[in-house]
Amino acid sequence: MTYFADLTPYGYHTFQPIPDPKLLNVGWLDASVPFAKGPVDALVVPKLLLLRRSPVNLCRGWQGCPFGQLESPPSPCPYPVSMLIGIEEISLGNGEIRVPSENGIVYAAPTLICHYIDRHRYCPPNEFLMAVSKL
């Protein structure tokens, strides 16, 4: 997957020569770059999974998760990665979600962010978590 540092201007699927300063990256992780870990409110992932029902920038194929291979002992993640909303299985890794905030900032995240938080303890920036809490 393409890596973008959290809270940098989004520029992945865009044809604009100048990035939109109000559209920021969150959760574009890569195995070669350490990321923040920690507890996240239990309501965050279910809210993000609901946003996954209306993804943007869908791509062909699926992005896998490399982080399970890096655990000790290695525990590969399924391909494609999926999670449950109730009894509905939702596949992740082929699109993006948008999380609006009250201050006009919109956060762009890969759908795999749900898995990163749930399985690998990724802790997104507080600004993003506050925006999700308002959904």
Tell me the domain boundaries of the chain. Answer: 37-133
Distance CA(87)–CA(18), nearest Å, equals 42
Give, in order, the Cα–Cα distances in Å from 82 to each of 37, 41, 62, 93, 101: 21, 20, 11, 9, 26
- In order along its 135 residues, the chain shows pLDDT tens digits of 689 999 999 988 766 667 788 999 999 999 999 999 999 999 999 999 999 988 989 888 899 999 998 888 888 999 999 998 889 899 999 999 999 999 999 999 999 999 999 999 999 999 999 999 999
